[in-house]
Structure 1
């Protein structure tokens, strides 16, 4: 992978020209008191370096005569490493990660100016690390004051995100191999969940069964807090309590994926706990399944990113009208967004190093065009929230529909010919998810 990290840096440096890029590692997150969460590197930092330690800064200086890639890292400290784990150190930062120069992190203020004084701008994201923001702004302001004497130096700060995130949108073969692995592990976990779910079991038991498979198969763990939502809990989009005992007439909505070497999968399936849909559950499920299939069909090069969502909304709205949950002209209902009490989220998001991955969905008035190498989710749903109050011109909701929540989600790769569903190995046809 070091070759690929180097290629990414070279590609970014070609785009920033005479600028200097500065990237800060993610901070350690505290769980409680002095106990920390397992460390997770900032995705942009990892994408460019593969370096997985805190308290680090990467500098890209394409204009520098000797050092184009510079790392500032924690120095070796055997006493601290006994407590908190091994550190790469300065020497290995060059040997392993290919830095042209490496320094202890405490030398940042001393060494950084030499990589800024010939740059025409600084590429840096002013994020939530206020202290480091001030460090960069202090260097920038100092160089601005001396600019008249030297005639060189940065005259602006620009966020590198729009450039870097457009790169991250297109996945390499190496990245896709990791995403396929993450998908395969999550497929196994979802298929296992379908087999072991039964009335009387608790949501957290199914969560545990799935997350056991994640770790057993080498994943870092869940890609996000697993959603295991039975009954009306499925109408809460980000339900994570997972503590209800499941009943025979419930549906179970599971939205769970894993992270494998930093790359993520994201799958949702909904199926009957007792093995058979009720008539109402089946009717809504078939609408969502058809919406998902037709949305996936819209994933192909040249189509708008919004095309799958627009298709899903049309199918869902039409189905809701046919069931009497909405009334009126389909086009008018869509234009006036009358479907939103039942379908309140978008159909897709990018997927990769982040679950909601980096990359623009729209450029001004123009939506992103789908291109080979992009990976996105397709996840329509219908949620008949018990407290839903339909608009005044819409019918009251018959109680038999209340508390039904359904979502079906797959991870889809845009290919030169169309698309590939990376998570197709999890059943979703009615006859496949009904077990009796």
Structure 2
């Protein structure tokens, strides 16, 4: 009987290895680690890159810079993002936590990275199980941590509770990613002891400092991400004249982004027609846009971990009414003047205050507001003029909007007005929402608008919609966004 049991176990191990082997290789006997590498996906990555566009050297430099920020005798713990389930067996599309990706380059769930002055980068990796490999494919393990992600040390996750406590006990302070914290390390006695003595902090106070200023490689990826969104939105604007439906426009822009290489949308597209545009983060996208109404489209995609964010407002049927054009020109002028304020030393707060001044005075001048000192303005625009942009849409939230901007920082400039149908004001302005959003890179001498290729002048938008129909709005071509 024991011989039969041993033989059965051996048979299972052999079968598992065969399955792992068959599922661990792509063409030409290239090992599949569960995410693209330069060997398995040469069309995406160059030799020496861990993720597309970001080299091994840059990842190692990021770790070095984080260690320089960490106090002596401290340890940083960063967990991968968790898998979130849509139903009992269907997960939502996985998106890696930005801090974990920034430090490790690993795009998969289930791992924990530990960074310390003594240990360097230590990665605890999930182990492939037969069931998971059959259903979901291979995952990066200990070998990938050492060979691909260039960790200094690596262990299977089952070793975490054996090894990590000693690492924590040798530290006087602990920093961890609060957003992805998991019980596997938080319940450890050594962790609890430091937490009880108030020596556990949020790691994002350091990682956001590093992520705030983009490297040349990151800027290149952000420009490519912005370019994809510009091209997709331009084609969607053309598409809107024959297909003025919010849902169809949302589908069109997502299709065009992904056809150009984006892995996913950065957020659910906001496609608000008519009064729906006055709902700032409207996302139902289920209405037909009426003749005479505007459509506000806020959209962005994600390319290899870097996001874009762009908004345009236009009349799908081809022309602005006089009242809507009046409001639009106020938002446009605010957008252009605020972009001009973008430079090293300025802050989002300063630019925001200028935008409030311009919009309050402009709305009073055209009769929307009776008094600039009233609280009514903040009901019509409760948003900031912009935010930081990068690996996350609202990037680096630990960095204050009062912080002076530096070269390499990317922000949005997005003035808007959102007038609900029930607003106590002139009827011609009721039920109108307008936002014009651009991405702006802070440079040594000022700024560069990364979304300048999408038209925003009234005459250019109307010309685009009325004169370009013959180009074929349903053709899936490689039309490029052109400078207005």
**Alignment partner for residue 298 of structure 1, among 341, 347, 353?**
341
What's 1:430 paired with?
Answer: 458
SS in 2 for 1:362: coil
Moved more, 114-123 or 36-45: 114-123
Deviations 1:123-180 (A, max 9, x none): 12344646246325x22245799xxxxxxxx972122211111111101111111111
Unmatched runs of 5 consecutive residues or more in structure 2: 1-54, 467-484
Q: Answer yes or no: is the 8 Å Cα contact 1:200–1:246 preserved in 2.
A: no
Moved more, 191-200 or 255-264: 191-200
Q: Is residue 131 of structure 1 aligned with residue 183 of structure 2? A: yes
The match for 1:8 is 62
Q: C-alpha separation between the residues in 2 aligned to 1:50 and 1:128?
A: 16
* 1:136-215 superposed matches below 5 A: 136=188, 138-141=189-192, 156-198=199-241, 201-215=244-258
Deviation at 1:231, TM superposition (A): 0.7
Q: Distance in 2 between matches of 1:53 and 1:417?
A: 39
Seen in structure 2, the aligned counterparts of structure 1 residues 266 and 126 have a Cα distance that, compared at 3 Å, is closer
Deviations 1:87-139 (A, max 9, x none): 11111210111111111111101011232232221112344646246325x22
- Secondary structure at 2:76's aligned position in 1? strand
Cα distance in 2 between the residues matched to 1:155 and 1:387: 50
Deviation at 1:256, TM superposition (A): 0.6
Please give the secondary structure, in 2, of the residue aligned with 1:240. coil
- Contact 1:29–1:39 (Cα < 8 Å) also in 2: yes
Question: Aligned pair 1:226/2:272, yes or no?
Answer: no
Q: What is the rounded CA distance, in whole Å, between the counterparts of 2:399 and 2:192 in structure 1?
A: 34
Residues 187-221 of structure 1 show CA distances to partners (whole Å, capped at 9, x for unaligned) of 00111111111266311111111111111111012
SS in 1 for 2:348: coil
Say which of 91, 98, 102 aligns to 2:154.
102
Provide the secondary structure at the position in 2 that maps to 1:423: coil
How much has 1:278 moved relative to structure 2?
0.4
1:88 aligns with 2:166: no
Task: Give the Cα separation in 2 of the matches to 1:217 and 1:407.
Answer: 25
Counterpart in the other structure of 2:91:
36
Q: Does 1:409 align with 2:437?
A: yes
User: 1:378 is matched with which residue: 388, 392, 413?
Assistant: 413
In structure 1, the residue corresponding to 2:388 is in which secondary structure?
coil
Q: Secondary structure at the match of 1:181?
A: helix
Please name the residue that 1:313 is paired with.
Answer: 356
Query: Does the CA-based 8 Å contact 1:305-1:361 persist in structure 2?
Result: no
Paired with 2:250 and 2:279, the residues of 1 have a C-alpha distance of 17
Query: TM-score, normalised to structure 2's length?
Result: 0.81
8 Å CA contact 1:250–1:272 kept in 2: the answer is: yes
* CA–CA distance in structure 2, aligned partners of residues 397 and 144 of structure 1: 54
Q: Is the deviation greater in 113-122 or in 414-423?
A: 113-122
For residues 70-89 of structure 1, the aligned pairs below 5 Å read: 70-89=122-141
Matched, 1:243 2:286: yes
Question: Within 1, Cα distance between the matches of 2:400 and 2:271?
Answer: 32
- 1:285-326: CA deviations, max 9, x gaps? 000000111111111101122122111111111111111112
Alpha-carbon distance in 1 for matches of 2:422, 2:370: 20
Residues of 2 paired with 1:155 and 1:382: CA distance? 44
Match of 2:259 among 203, 209, 216: 216
